[in-house]
Amino acid sequence: MTSTVDPVNLPQSTASNDTEIDREALARLLVEIARNVDPDNHAHFDVPAADHRMDTLRELLVGREISELSRVTHLLDEPEQLAAAVGDVLPSAAASASHAQLGEAFAPVVERAVRRSIQKNPRTLTDILYPVFLPAIRKSIGEKIDQTFQSLNESLRHIFTWHGLKWRFEAWRTGTSFSEVVLKHSLSYQVEHVFLINRNSGLLITHVAAENATSEDPQLISSMLSAIQDFVKDSFNEKEQSGLDTIRFGELRLWSEVGPFATLVAVIRGNPPEELHEIIRDVLLRIHDESSEALEQFDGDSSQLAGVEAQLQTCVELKHEDSNEGFPWLVVAAVLLVLVPAGGWFFLSWQAGQRWQAYVSRLETQPGIIVAEHQMRGGQFYIAGLRDPLAADPQSLLSGTQVDPARVHSQWQFYQSLEPEFVLKRLTASLAPPDTVRLSIVNGRIVAEGEAPDTWIDRARAAAQQLSAGGPVFDISKVRDVSPEARAAERWQAYVSRLGAQPGIIVADQKMRDGQFYIAGLRDPLAADPQSLLSGTQVDPARVHSQWQFYQSLEPEFVLKRLTASLAPPDSVRLSIVNDRIVAEGEAPDTWINRAQAAAQQLSAGGPVFDISGVRDVSPEARAAERWQAYVSRLETQPGIIVSEQKIRGGQFYIAGLRDPLGADPLSLLSGTQVDPARVHSQWQFYQSLEPEFVLKRLTASLYPPDTVRFSIVNDRIVAEGEAPDTWIDKARAAARQLSAGRPEFDISKVRDVSPEARAAEHWQYYVSRLEAQPGIIVAQQTARGGHFYISGLRDPLAADPQALLSGTEVDPARVHSQWQFYQSLDPKFVVKRLTASLTPPKSVQVSIVQGRIVVVGEAPAAWITRAQAASEQLSADGVVLDVSQLRELNLAELNYLREAIQTTDIFFSSGKVVPGPEQVPVLDRLADQIKEFAQNARKSGVTARFMLTGHSDATGRETANASISAARAETVRALLNKRGVPPELLLVRGAGTFEPLVPENIQTGSSTNRRVSVTVNLD
Amino acid sequence: MLQKKICMLGGFAVGKTSLVRRFVQSIFSETYLTTVGVKIDKKSVVLPDKTVDLILWDLAGEDDIGSFRVSYVRGATGLVLVVDGTRAATLAVALTLRERVEAEFGPMPFVLLFNKSDLADRWAIPDSEIDGLRQLGWQIYLTSALSGECVDDAFRQLASMVTE
C-alpha cells in the first residue's frame, strides 16, 4: 500500500444547510480515515499531530458551537460588552429574583453606595431626602418642644411641693427621669375613645371605647372628623399631609395621629401628658406595620382588620387617676426627728432676731437716733448710726429688750437732730429763756409763749432764723415783749426821783401795778406841776394816777414866789434870795412898802427872813411925772399933732403945740394915762397938716370924688385913679395945683376923662395908631372935627381892610370918613402874598423872607420854575429880591411809573354786563389806590392829574348798543372808583364802543379782552 | 361591618337633605351644611347577603360649581345625584358635578334622583330626556321627599352597586 493517499476531494464549499453536517464531506473523510486504519501500521505510523483532517473533522462536527463559544467568550472577556449585556437583563433579572434574597444581596451594596455617596457629596442625598425629612423633622421638633414645655410646667408645678420631693425620691429610687414620675403621678386623664379612620374615605375602620364612655355613632363621627380635617385643610389652603393634631373642647381633647393609610383619633378626657402622643403614635405605627396591606386596600369592609381592635384597646386603657396612697407615717416620723431639734434651734435664733428687731425698731422710733445700718451675724448684733447728744442713750434702751448687751456692738456718731424736741432742748440750753417764757412743741413747730424782754426776743429771733434753714419752725410770735413794761417802770422811777428832787414837791408814796403808776404826796401850788414834769420822761400820762395835796412850802424860793404873787411888787422892785433870805431891792410906793412889811412880819413866824430894807420909797409926784411923760410921748407920735412945748410945774402939767383938726383930740388921749386931766393945761393951735394922709382926708372932704375914682397914697404921693367927668377932673386938677405949692403931690393923671367926646377921641386915636401899625397901610392925614373923623392914605389891596379894623375900636363907623388910594406895597410880605396868588407855588415849594429877601426853596416842575424866574426878573426892577436859585426841578420818575401802572390797568366785564364781576374787585381796589396816590403826588408837584376812563365793548351786537354799553361801563367804573375815595372831578368818562379794540376779534364769539374799561392819565 | 362613603350631590335647594331626612340616622345638625359645607348621615341598607352602612356625605348644594369642595368626595365609592324635577337647570348642575368628581377621582357608581315628583304640575324635565338617560344604563329614580317614594329603592340600588 502506498502512503500516497488520494486526497479526498472535499467540497470546498460548506454545506448549504447550516444545521446539517455536510454528510458527503463527512463520508469522504471517514472513508479516508478508514483506509488508513491498519493495525500494523498503527504501531509504525503515528497519526501526525497536526493532521489537518482532524481540524476539518472538528470543523465539521462542532464548528458552529466553536464560533458561538468564541462569541460568548468574547462577550465575557470584553467588559464593555458584558456591561451592556448585563444592563439589558438586570431589571428583569431583579424583577424575577426572589425578593428576600435580592434584598439581602442588595442591602450591603446599597448601604455602601449610600455611604459612599454621602462621603462624596452629602448634598445629593440631602436634596433627595429633603422633601421626605423636612415635614417629619418639623413635626418631631414641634412635638419635642411642646413636650419640653409641658414637662417643664409640670416640673415647676411640683418641684417645691411635698409631692415633688416624694417624686424626686421615687425617680432616684427607680432610676427613671423625674419628668416621667411627674407624668405618672400628676396627670389625670382617660382615653375614652379611639377611632381608627381610613384616611382616604374617612370611613371608620375600628372604634374602641372605654368601659364607661359613650358616644354617638362612631361611623358618623369618624366621617365628620375627616370632613372637618378636609374643611380646615381646604379653608386655610394647608398643603401639609398631616391632619388636625388637636381639637380641644373643655375637658375633652381629640388627638389625632396621621399615618400613611389611617388616622388614629384618641378622645381624651382630662389632662393628658405630651408623652401620650408618643404612645398613640406607637400604636398607630404598630397597626400600620401589622396590617399595612389591609389598611391600604380598605374599602369599607373592616372585617379584614379585626386584629387592630386589640391594639386600640391598649390606648383606651391609658388613663391616670389621682391615686390615694396611704399616709407615709414612717417618712413623717423621720422628718419629725430631724425637724424638732432644727426647729428648736431656728426658733431660738428667730426669737433672738425678733428681739433684736424689736430693739432696732425701738431705736428707729427714738427721736434723735438714726439707725444707719444693723445686722445680725454669728449671734452678734451690730448696729451703727447717728445719735443726737440729747437723745436717749441707745445702751440704756437695751434694758427690758432681752437683748444681751454683751452681744451688741454699737457705733454711734453724734449729730444734731432737727427733730423738734431736740431743737427745743438745744434752744432751751442756748437761749436760756426767762421764767416767763414757756417753750413747747405744737404740731412739729416749736412755740414760745410768754413774756420776755426785747433783748431775749432778739436772740430768739436770730435762733429762729438759723433754724429756718432746715429745722422745725421756731414760732416766737406769741412771746410778748415785756421790755416796754420794764422800761416804763424804769422811766417811772426816773420820773419819781425827778419829782423827789423838785422843790415844793414831796413824794409820799408811789407804786406800779399792772402797768399803771400810782403816786401820792404833797406839792406846793407854786412848785413845778408834776403832770408837766411828765413830759420828756416817756411815761405815759394816761397810766399815771396822781394824788397831790397842796401845802405851802417854806423854802425861800416858794416863799419868794408867794410874795411875788401876793405883793405884786412894782417893776422897780427886785426880789431875790440871798443866803436863804428874801431880799427886796429897788423903789416902790409907800403903800407897797407897807404891805411888804406886813408880809415880812407874817413870815417871821417860821419862814425865811423877808428883808425889805433895800426898797426905796417912791413919791406919788414922781409917778405923776412919769405918767405925764408917757402921755406926752404918746401925743408926739400922733399924726396931725405937733407938740411944741411941755413942762411940769407945781403938780400942774402944761403943754402947747399945733394940731390938725382932722387929727386925734389930745384930751381924749388922756384917758387911761392916769394923768389927772384937771392938772393938764393945753394950748393947741389948729393947722393943716401936709402929711399925705391928712391931705388925702382933706381932698376927699373937699372934692367929693365920684365912686369911679379911688384915692390912695403911693410913696407919699396922693394918686387918684378911675374915671370921672371932665368937670370933676378940672376941680381935681385945681386942687392939685393948690397942693403943688407944698407937698404932697396930687396925681390925677390916672383918672380918665369919661366925657363922651374925650372918649370918642380916644377911641379914634387908638384906631389911627392901629392903622398905622398895619403893614400895607400908610396913614397920610387924619383929623377929628365936630365929632367926625377924617382919614386919608394909601393901602395895598392885600393889606387888611381899614374898615374891618374899625370893629372893636368903639369908633362909630358912621362918623369916619376915609379916603384910601390903592398902591402896591413893596414890603416883602406883600410881595410874597402877591407872588403866592399869581404863581400858585406847588406844595413842594417853600417861600420865605430872609433878611428882606424873598427866597424860594424846593422842587417844582420846570414850567413853574420858568414862571418864577420871570417874576424874579420883574421884581428886581422894583428893588425886591426874589431868589429862585435854590429851586430844583421835580423828579417825575415815580409819577411816571405810577402812571404806567394805572394806564396798563383794565377792568374787564362779562358779555353784556356793565358791572364788573367780583373777580375785578381787587383790580378796582388797587386802581383806586394808585389813582389817589398819583393825584396826590401830582398835586404836590403843582400839577393836576385827570384820569380818562374809556369804556369798550366787544364787536358782537349792534353798534349803538355797544357804544352805550361801553359808556355805561366807564360810568360804572367811575362810580366804583368814587366809592373807593377817588374824587369824581378827577375822573373823566367816555365810551369808545368797538372802535378801540385791544385785540382783533371774531364777530361771532366776541372777545372778553375787549370788554373792558381802560384808564389814561392826563396832566394839566 | 361594611361601610361605603357615598356623596350626595346636587344643585341648590334640590331637596337632598329633606329627601334623606326620613331615611337616615343623623346626629349632626343641618347647620353643618352651611358652616362646614358637609353633613354626614348614615343609611344602613340590608342586602340579601350583607348589611351595608352607607355613610352619606350630604354636600352643600351650590349652583356655583366653582365653590364645590371636591376634596369632600375623596374616598367615596358612590354618588347620589339629586335633581329638582321642577327646575331643568338642576339636571345640568348635577351632571356637571358628577363630571367634576369623575375627572378628579375616576368613574364611580351613582344613582340619579329626580326629586319633587309630587309636583307633577310644575314638572320641567321631559320624559324623553329621562328615558334617554335611562338608555345610557343610568339608575334613575323619581323621588319625593314628601312621600318618600323610591328613596329606599334608590339607596338599595346604590348599595348593591357599590358592594359588587
B96: helix, coil or strand?
A: helix
How many whole angstroms separate alpha carbon A75 and alpha carbon B28? 74
Are A394 and A495 contained in the same domain?
Answer: no
Mutation target among A220, A263, A302 for the B interface, most CBs of B within 10 A = A220
Last residue of a domain, one of A550, A570, A586: A550
How many whole angstroms separate alpha carbon A794 and alpha carbon A387? 118
Q: Which residues of A touch B5 (CB under 8 A)?
A: 201-203, 223, 300
* Rg of chain B in Å (alpha carbons): 15
Domain that holds residue A734: 690-744
Q: How far is B144 from chain A (nearest CA, A)?
A: 25
Q: What angle do CA B132, B137, B143 make, to 5 degrees?
A: 75
Number of domains in chain A: 8
Listing from the earlier edge strand, what are the strands of the sheet with A408-414? A369-377, A380-387, A408-414
Cα dihedral A925, A926, A929, A930, rounded to 10, equals: -150
Mutation target among A215, A224, A229 for the B interface, most CBs of B within 10 A = A224
Whether residue A201 and residue B71 make contact (CB cut-off 8 A), yes or no, is no
Is residue A130 situated within a structural domain?
no
Whether residue A227 and residue B27 make contact (CB cut-off 8 A), yes or no, is no
Among A223, A231, A301, the residue with its CB nearest the CB of B55 is A223
Is residue A425 situated within a structural domain?
no
ipTM, 2 dp: 0.85
Q: Does residue B106 belong to the interface with chain A, where contact is any CB pair within 8 Å?
A: no
Longest pairwise C-alpha distance within chain B? 43
Residue type, A838: S
Would you say A884 and A868 are in contact if contact means Cβ atoms under 8 Å apart?
yes
Whether residue A227 and residue B72 make contact (CB cut-off 8 A), yes or no, is yes
Residues 6+ apart with CB under 8 A from A1019: A938, A943, A944, A945, A946
Whether residue A203 and residue B37 make contact (CB cut-off 8 A), yes or no, is no
B73: helix, coil or strand?
A: helix
Is residue A847 situated within a structural domain?
no
Is residue A956 situated within a structural domain?
yes
Half-sphere exposure of A449 (CA within 13 A, CB side): 5
Which grid coordinates are listed for A946? 385827570
pTM reported for the whole predicted model: 0.34
Is residue A118 situated within a structural domain?
no
Among A201, A224, A303, the residue with its CB nearest the CB of B76 is A201
**Parallel, antiparallel, or unpaired: how do β-strands A717-724 and A189-198 relate?**
unpaired
How many whole angstroms separate alpha carbon A204 and alpha carbon B24? 18
Please count the residue pairs, one from chain A and one from chain B, whose beta carbons lie less than 8 angstroms apart.
72
Q: What is the CATH number of the domain that holds A491?
A: 3.30.300
Which grid coordinates are listed for A419? 427733730
Q: What is the CATH number of the domain that holds A260?
A: 3.30.450.70
Is residue A105 situated within a structural domain?
no
Are A698 and A685 contained in the same domain?
Answer: no
Q: How far is A227 from chain B (nearest CA, A)?
A: 7
Residues 6+ apart with CB under 8 A from B52: A300, B2, B3, B4, B44, B45, B159, B162, B163
Would you say A369 and A363 are in contact if contact means Cβ atoms under 8 Å apart?
yes
Could you check whether the bond before residue A541 is cis, i.e. omega within 30 degrees of 0? no
**Cross-strand bridge partners of residue A371:** A385
Domains and CATH numbers, chain B: 2-163 (3.40.50.300)
Cα dihedral A256, A259, A263, A266, rounded to 10, equals: -40
Are A256 and A244 contained in the same domain?
Answer: yes
Are A660 and A697 contained in the same domain?
Answer: no
Q: How far is A188 from chain B (nearest CA, A)?
A: 30
Are A932 and A903 contained in the same domain?
Answer: yes
Res A925: pLDDT: 92
How many whole angstroms separate alpha carbon A813 and alpha carbon A801? 13
Is residue A546 situated within a structural domain?
yes
Q: What is the CATH number of the domain that holds A603?
A: 3.30.70
Q: How far is B22 from chain A (nearest CA, A)?
A: 17
Among B25, B69, B74, the residue with its CB nearest the CB of A200 is B74
Are A470 and A514 contained in the same domain?
Answer: yes
Q: In chain A, which residues have pLDDT < 70?
A: 1-21, 37-50, 99-100, 149-161, 163, 178-187, 238-244, 320-332, 468-470, 604-606, 619, 740-743, 891-893, 942, 1002-1006, 1020
Q: How far is B21 from chain A (nearest CA, A)?
A: 15
Q: What is the CATH number of the domain that holds A914?
A: 3.30.1330.60
Are A506 and A523 contained in the same domain?
Answer: yes
Whether residue A220 and residue B40 make contact (CB cut-off 8 A), yes or no, is yes
Would you say A550 and A523 are in contact if contact means Cβ atoms under 8 Å apart?
yes
Are A191 and A318 contained in the same domain?
Answer: yes
Whether residue B25 and residue A217 make contact (CB cut-off 8 A), yes or no, is yes
* Rg of chain A in Å (alpha carbons): 80
How many whole angstroms separate alpha carbon B155 and alpha carbon B52? 10
More confident position, A105 or B162: B162
Q: How far is A163 from chain B (nearest CA, A)?
A: 44
Q: Which residues of A touch B69 (CB under 8 A)?
A: 230-231, 234
Query: Per DSSP, which regions of A746-899 are E strands?
Result: 746-753, 777-785, 788-795, 816-822, 845-850, 853-860, 882-883, 887-889
Whether residue A220 and residue B27 make contact (CB cut-off 8 A), yes or no, is yes
Are A530 and A576 contained in the same domain?
Answer: no
Last residue of a domain, one of A388, A414, A440: A414
Q: Which residues of A touch B32 (CB under 8 A)?
A: 224
How many whole angstroms separate alpha carbon A532 and alpha carbon A445? 49
Are A406 and A282 contained in the same domain?
Answer: no
Residues 6+ apart with CB under 8 A from A825: A775, A776, A796, A798, A799, A831
Burial A599-622 (b: 16+ CB within 10 A, else e): bbeebeeebbebbbeebeebeeee
Last residue of a domain, one of A24, A53, A77: A77
Q: Does residue B110 belong to the interface with chain A, where contact is any CB pair within 8 Å?
A: no
**Parallel, antiparallel, or unpaired: how do β-strands A853-860 and A845-850 relate?**
antiparallel
Are A318 and A191 contained in the same domain?
Answer: yes
Among B38, B55, B72, the residue with its CB nearest the CB of A219 is B55
CA closest to B57 among chain A residues: A223
Would you say A161 and A155 are in contact if contact means Cβ atoms under 8 Å apart?
no
Would you say A179 and A156 are in contact if contact means Cβ atoms under 8 Å apart?
no
Phi, psi (deg, nearest 5) at residue A878: -85, 5
Half-sphere exposure of A824 (CA within 13 A, CB side): 10
Are A275 and A356 contained in the same domain?
Answer: no
Q: Does residue A303 belong to the interface with chain B, where contact is any CB pair within 8 Å?
A: yes
CA closest to A216 among chain B residues: B27
Is residue A947 situated within a structural domain?
yes
Q: How many residues does chain B have?
A: 164
Helix %, strand %, coil % of chain A (to 5): 45, 25, 30
**Cross-strand bridge partners of residue A951:** A991, A1013
Q: Does residue A97 belong to the interface with chain B, where contact is any CB pair within 8 Å?
A: no
How many whole angstroms separate alpha carbon A389 and alpha carbon A369? 9
How many whole angstroms separate alpha carbon A293 and alpha carbon A26? 66
